[in-house]
């Protein structure tokens, strides 16, 4: 199971990013646990300077704006 964290204040872009990750995982048949991190101190500790941020299995893979849908599969399969 992949551990995915979405970093952001809970805005629409953050919600959309979480939905995109769940949909990509379902399409690939990969089990994911998606956690939303909204605490600003935790977001800063993770190194996210622009939200939404995404980490997969503890590795920060994206920060700022909606992710490119083609990259989601690579992050989940990596």
What the block records as the tokens of 35 is 């956690």
Q: How many domains does the chain have?
A: 1
- 11 catalytically annotated: yes
- Catalytic member of 3, 11, 33, 40: 11
Residue 14 a catalytic site member: yes
Token duo for residue 19: 């939905």
**CA-to-CA dists, residue 49 to 3, 36, 77, 78, angstroms:** 21, 16, 25, 23
**pLDDT tens, 26-60?**
999 999 999 999 999 999 999 999 999 999 999 99
- What is the pTM for the complete model shown? 0.94
- The whole domain housing 58 covers 2-77
Share of the chain above pLDDT 70, in %: 100
The catalytic position among 14, 18, 20, 37 is 14
Taking every pair of Cα atoms in the chain, the longest distance, rounded to a whole number of angstroms, is: 33
pLDDT computed for residue 78 by the predictor? 85
Domain containing residue 49: CATH number? 3.40.30.10
Query: Cα(49)–Cα(43) distance, rounded to whole angstroms?
Result: 8
């Amino acid at each position: 199971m992949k551990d995915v964290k979405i970093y952001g204040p809970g805005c629409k872009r953050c919600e959309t990013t979480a939905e995109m990750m769940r949909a990509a995982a379902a399409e690939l048949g990969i089990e994911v646990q998606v956690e939303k991190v909204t605490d600003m101190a935790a977001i800063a500790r993770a190194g996210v300077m622009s939200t939404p941020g995404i980490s997969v299995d503890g590795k920060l893979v994206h920060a700022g704006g909606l992710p490119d849908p083609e990259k989601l599969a690579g992050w989940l399969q990596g």
